[in-house]
Amino acid sequence: MQYVYIFAGGAIGALIRYTFSILNYTDGFPTGTFLANILGAFLMGLLGTMAIQYFNNNPQLKKGITTGLLGALTTFSTFQFELIGFLHQQAYAMLIIYALVSYILGVLVCYIGVRLGARFS
Element (H, E) at 29: none
CA distance 76 to 64: 19
How many Cβ atoms are within 10 Å of 31's Cβ, its own excluded?
16
Alpha-carbon gap, residue 12 to 14, rounded angstroms: 5
Report yes or no: 86 and 25 within 8 Å, Cβ to Cβ: no
Task: Measure the CA–CA gap between 118 and 55, rounded to whole angstroms.
Answer: 14
Is 71 annotated for ligand binding?
yes
- 64 marked among binding-site residues: no
Mark the binding-site residues for Na(+), compressed into ranges.
71, 74
Mark the binding-site residues, compressed into ranges.
71, 74
